[in-house]
A and B are shown apart, each in its own frame.
Chain A
Amino acid sequence: MTKETDCAIEVDKLTKRYVDLLAVDDISFSVIKGEVFALLGPNGAGKTTTVEIIDTIRTPTSGKVTLLGMDVTKKKHDVVRRIGVLPQGFSSFDRITVRETMQYFSRLFGCTSIDIDELIELVNLKDKAKEQYKNLSGGLRQRLGIAIALVNDPEVVFLDEPTTGLDPRARREVWEVLQGLKKKGKTVFLTTHYMDEAELLADTVTIISKGKIIAVGSPGELIENNANYLVLTLQSVDQKASEIVRKMGFEPVLNNHKDITVRVEQTKDVQIILNAIKDAGALYLGLDVRKPNLEEVFLKLTGEALRDGPGGGRGAE
């Protein structure tokens, strides 16, 4: 257990029950000051409910959340001054420009000392400072949302699915901004259903599924502890190759491009499979051997995929 002073957030036996749904089921975890903490899970897992209880948007059914030493349900007014929040599906006033929006939020916090232009520069919106919100693209809107979350120079920044719905380039640009935050020493609480995002940005990843925490650790630890195997991919195989691998006792997964993916326990298994295919005269065009990623860790732990999780998770999220 870490010392209390090192903890930015402590969540203790947190439960949130909606009328017909147990969204968060008795979870406990802590976030250390200065780290990037990612809550990873599919849609409907309870990520947003959890983060919205911690950042004071919702109230818990039971359990306790301590943020910078304060109980979030009792000290909401003090808590909000020390955190910055990018809510899920962030949106702002349509006809107000980037710079005016920043000024508005800084006035709400009474922050006269903050340099708005510096923040606008931090999220690379300098060219768009005079643009009205309605004219910004999705990526620019998210970056404005992040800048707003920093307007009160918060100690803890909450980013709820900051890159959902963005194209790959816009995502990378948001990631750059987040890496900048990490360098500034902010504690960042991130929720995402993109495992690449968690793997790239997070110091600690907590995997949540159906309201329960199922694994905690750094991305490397999670992979090491939960997915001690290799992933062999054979590209453009014929029917025969797939059959051979199956008969050898492996479980090949075939995709639309006629690639098969096989999990193997040891390096020598790769050699054995390749030899068997060669002996049978079957064909493949390319091959790839890699360590598993968080996506596969998640699949192994829950039996469901991260992005297209069953149920779709409306309501609670």
Chain B
Amino acid sequence: MNLRVVGANLVVKLMSFYREKTAMFFTIAFPIILILVFGTIFMSQDNVSFHLFVQDLDQTNSSAQSIKTLELNGKFKITTVDPAINATQYVRDNKVNLVLVIPKGYERSLLQRAMLSDSNASVTITYIYDPSSSSVSMKMQILNSVLAEINQKMSGKHPFIRSAETSILTKKYRFIDFFIPGIIAMAVMTLSLFGTVNLNTELRQKGIIRKLSTTPITRTDWILSDILYQFILAIISTIAMLLVSYAVFNVSLHITVWILAFILLDVFAFVGIGMILTRFAKEAQSAAAAANVISFPMMFLSGSFFPIELMPGFLQTIAKILPLYYVNEGLRASMIFEDNIAALRNSAIIGVFAAIVFILGIVATKWEEDQ
């Protein structure tokens, strides 16, 4: 390794980057856009409220009271449907996924149960729903639990089993807090992988690599300068992402030196993979396509966007062999849970992986032309 050579390459790359304003803009803007878009989506999920359509065929004080109870629960924004129209047709025509129908005779049955203690008196509330809508089952589950609560209260007895919540975290975290570390890991991966592939295939196609092969620069110097360069870009975009996260979403994350460590390992791993791809893909386009093939599953399977617990068992197993999973886990361990042991364990795993691909990247990089 020759520090003078690594430094010379780093300077040339940074100057090129600084003078290419559009590339600079997108390097910083791309992760920020991701944060803003997904952050907004997940923020609204935190205090989610569903639209609920209710058709009251009873039109009595009691039925109106029940609708009020549903509304007070806070989960629903209620729209009433004219009792004169056909609810099924209404669902079809208005692209509404669920209409709750309160039957005629609701008040009468209620009075029978409450005043006359007739334990056989009951009513059936009908859900008219569109099963092709993805959120409808969640809506029905919430409705069921609300109705169960009402039933329980009407029985007049205290419930036997109660639940209490104790968070393992000292502060209250929202989904956005879990999301930001994943986005940082993913953005650094994308920048490093595509940055390396694009830069190296371009230099090779322009013949600059051929010229460099007639200078004393070694493959190790070249890759190290690439890693340093991508590391600097990664730090810049991470700072941008964190600033936006704090300013727009008011996240509360722990900023520790672990972040730097995981970014560096992330860069090491994916610059190494980029070098290997550059070697085996002859054309710039096929190298970029190969980078897509690697980064896409990584993005969705390694828990950057959603917890891997949501995935079927075999996909969870796959997730655990993906390097990005350990960056995600490690960043969350340090930024949310302040769990240094877990951070250390994850950094060790990704560290071993990074070392292997780094060495493979050096071996794979070829200066000599071989047609």
Residues on A lying within 8 angstroms of B by beta carbon are 18-19, 52, 55-59, 77, 80-81, 83, 85, 87-96, 100, 103-105, 107-110, 132, 148, 315
Contact = CB atoms under 8 A, between A and B. Distances in A.
A104 B214 contact: no
Nearest to B371: A18
B206 interface: yes
Given A95-B15, A104-B11, A107-B5, A85 B368 contact: no
Contacts of B210: 57, 87
A80 B215 contact: yes
Interface string B1-21: 010110111011001100110
Nearest to A52: B369
- Ranked nearest first, the 4 interchain pairs of A and B with the lowest CB-CB distance are A107-B8, A85-B214, A95-B19, A91-B206
Given A18-B371, A95-B16, A95-B20, 13 more contacts: A56-B214, A57-B369, A80-B216, A85-B214, A89-B207, A93-B16, A96-B12, A100-B15, A108-B5, A108-B8, A108-B216, A109-B216, A132-B19
Given A58-B369, A108-B5, A90 B207 contact: yes
B273 to A, nearest CB: 24
Contacts of A59: 368, 370
A87 B211 contact: yes
B369 to A, nearest CB: 5
A87 B207 contact: yes
A221 B366 CA distance: 42
B208 interface: yes
B15 A81 contact: no
Most chain A Cβ neighbours within 10 Å, of B11, B16, B216, B217: B216
Contact of A109 (B11, B19, B215, B371): B215
A93 B215 contact: no
A77 B371 contact: no
Given A18-B371, A93-B16, A57 B8 contact: no
15 contacts: A56-B214, A57-B213, A59-B368, A83-B214, A87-B214, A88-B207, A91-B211, A92-B208, A95-B15, A95-B16, A96-B12, A104-B11, A105-B215, A148-B211, A315-B371
A18 B217 CA distance: 27
Contacts of B211: 85, 87, 90-92, 148
Contact of A104 (B12, B206, B369): B12
Interface residues of B, number: 27
B207 A80 contact: no
A34 B217 CA distance: 27
Most chain A Cβ neighbours within 10 Å, of B212, B215, B368, B371: B215
Nearest to B15: A96
Contact of B213 (A19, A56, A95, A104): A56
A104 B6 CA distance: 11
A83 B213 CA distance: 12
B208 A93 contact: yes
Contacts of A90: 207, 211
A100 B18 CA distance: 14
B368 A57 contact: yes
Contacts of A107: 4-5, 7-8
B126 to A, nearest CB: 68
A104 B12 CA distance: 7
Interface in B330-354: none
B214 A57 contact: yes
B291 to A, nearest CB: 22
Interface in B1-57: 2, 4-5, 7-9, 11-12, 15-16, 19-20
Nearest to A108: B215
Given A59-B368, A91-B208, A107-B5, A80 B15 contact: no
Contacts of B4: 107, 110
A112 B27 CA distance: 35
Interface string B184-224: 00000000000000000000001110111111110000000
A100 to B, nearest CB: 7
Contacts of B217: 108
B175 to A, nearest CB: 42
Nearest to B212: A108
Nearest to B206: A91
B310 to A, nearest CB: 45
Nearest to A316: B371
A58 B214 contact: no
B19 to A, nearest CB: 4
A24 B39 CA distance: 61
Given A80-B215, A90-B211, A95-B20, A58 B370 contact: yes
B329 to A, nearest CB: 39
Nearest to A107: B8
Contacts of A91: 206-208, 211
Interface string B135-160: 00000000000000000000000000
A18 to B, nearest CB: 5
A202 to B, nearest CB: 22
A56 to B, nearest CB: 6
Contact of A81 (B12, B19, B216, B369): B216
A110 B216 contact: yes
Contacts of B212: 108
B207 A94 contact: no
Contacts of B207: 87-91
Contacts of B208: 91-93
Most chain B Cβ neighbours within 10 Å, of A59, A83, A93, A132: A93
Contacts of A92: 208, 211
